[in-house]
Structure 1
Amino acid sequence: MTVSIIRFGGSNCDRDAERALEHLDVDAEIVWHEDGLPDDATGVVLPGGFSYGDYLRAGAMAARSPIMEDVRAAAADGVPVLGVCNGAQIGCESGLTEGAFTTNESARFQCEHVYLRVERADTPWTAAYEEGEVIEIPIAHGEGRYEIGDDRLAALEDEDRVLFRYCDEDGETDPDVNPNGSKHNIAGVLGERETVAVLMPHPERATLPDVGPTDGQGILRGFEAAANDA
């Protein structure tokens, strides 16, 4: 399989994603957004960064790039799509997932390691974990607070589409361990298909053993898991 990592003007985590995937023996290539999505793409990463300088809203301009029509069509066909940080913002803005990411409750950029509780272990992105397992992944964002209307939040919860929640190392999700004020401590959600996911933390920064924890490997293995289930 070949995973296409979409580069927009202002992306800065595309090479990190490429290196992390290649470390896991997953073929990956960086694709400039104006070139369109390759016909042979069997996976898509929307990487982190500051696409178009976060003008208007983070991810809003990239979400309107023509390549996102290709990405939405691929997602509808079951191609796995993962949006990380700015890619999560793009994913929400483009309608791949519900909700939106907005300014942190602290009103400042935050770069730190956080704990996440795995809410479901029966998706491609979480098949490497156990339900309720706590993993350590870094964040680096200024607009990472997940917001969604209360009615849609209830539906999201009922549909079991919350993938990760911020927690402490024991898995508790009290407000003190919510780094950005996200509703219900939500750190990652699924689209209508389980092969589509967005999350604010950076699994590609928790994959290479030489630079720290490797808890993010399981998330990136989701591309292989989705391909095997197809």
Structure 2
Amino acid sequence: MTIPKVLILRTAGTNCDYETHYAFEKAGAKVDVVHINILLTNRKLLKNYQILALPGGFTYGDDVSAGKILANQIKYDLGEEITTFIHEKKLILGICNGFQVLTKADLLPASGLFRNNSTQGEYQQEATLAFNDSNKFEDRWVYLKICSHKSIFIHDEYIPTIYLPVAHGEGKFIVRDENVLNKITANHQIIFKYVNERGEEADYPWNPNGSVQNIAGICDSTGQILGMMPHPERYVEPTQHPHWTRNGLKEQGDGFFIFKNAVRYVKTNF
């Protein structure tokens, strides 16, 4: 049985790599945190891993737009390696800034990275994460509903709601047009939605950013790539819940199953 190997990609401005490292290691994986410059120098390095994680933070200061510079590096400098990685049935997880990177690299919701533009003209990005409707940074805990089990990271988890923190200024999920929304809905690619404590879709502050249809996370058509704005790596230990002294301790944090399912998949399939 393979010991799953995770590559956590970091660059200037990444700041959730240690938490993501801890979560995957706790789930049983061997984890390396690798700077983008090292990977660009030795692109074959990615072949040694079964899971690629893009953690949260503010890569390159989000100066152009959130995640855009790292997205371009992935799309234009590592496109061939990422294509091979996905074709080999490996997994990619993008959290917060990582989700922003995945959409702007055209890896979510559909893989424009693999599209032959020569026959279809200029490819238009299908979705992005835009500025929050509140026009401010939102740092709070939110309730999420699991809407689909298409993602490998979700597996067979049947939980009414989970509770995770968000911390972002550009977390509003929007799509290019109604056709994209209809497609990801029909394909069961909407994995998480923001809800209230009763599990009902609700507006601000339950939906912290104004995302279309309260979407908090999506996967690609294969289920191998997951992007989400809330931070599962910040709630893997029960004592990380803000009310644990009042409500008692759970067996594990609500975000831990995402890392556990990814590790289980690799152990089963590689």
TM-score computed with the length of structure 2 as normaliser: 0.80
2:37 is aligned with 1:34? yes
CA contact (8 A) 2:142 2:165 kept: yes
2:59 is aligned with 1:58? no
CA gap of 1:122–1:61, structure 2 versus 1, over 3 A, is closer
Percent identical across equivalent pairs?
Answer: 30
Instruction: Give a deviation string over 1:122-146, Cα, whole Å, max 9, x none.
Output: 532112521x620001100000000
Unaligned runs of 5+ in 2: 40-44, 110-126, 243-252
**Among 231, 239, 254, which residue is 1:215 paired with?**
254
CA gap of 1:146–1:122, structure 2 versus 1, over 3 A, is closer
**Among 167, 177, 180, which residue is 2:209 paired with?**
180
Give the whole-Å Cα distance in 2 for the aligned partners of 1:84 and 1:160.
20
CA contact (8 A) 2:8 2:33 kept: yes
Q: Which residue of 2 aligns with 1:24?
A: 27
Give the whole-Å Cα distance in 2 for the aligned partners of 1:229 and 1:55.
41
CA gap of 1:128–1:22, structure 2 versus 1, over 3 A, is farther
Instruction: Give a deviation string over 1:149-190, Cα, whole Å, max 9, x none.
Output: 221001110111000000012110122421100000000001
Unaligned runs of 5+ in 1: none
Aligned length: 229
Amino acid at match of 1:54: D
CA drift of 1:222 comes to: 2.8
Amino acid at match of 2:96: C
Give the whole-Å Cα distance in 1 for the aligned partners of 2:54 and 2:27.
18
**Among 98, 121, 126, which residue is 1:87 paired with?**
98
2:200 is aligned with 1:197? no
**Among 123, 128, 136, which residue is 2:151 paired with?**
123
Rg: which structure is higher? 2
Q: Which residue of 1 aligns with 2:248?
A: none
2:98 is aligned with 1:71? no
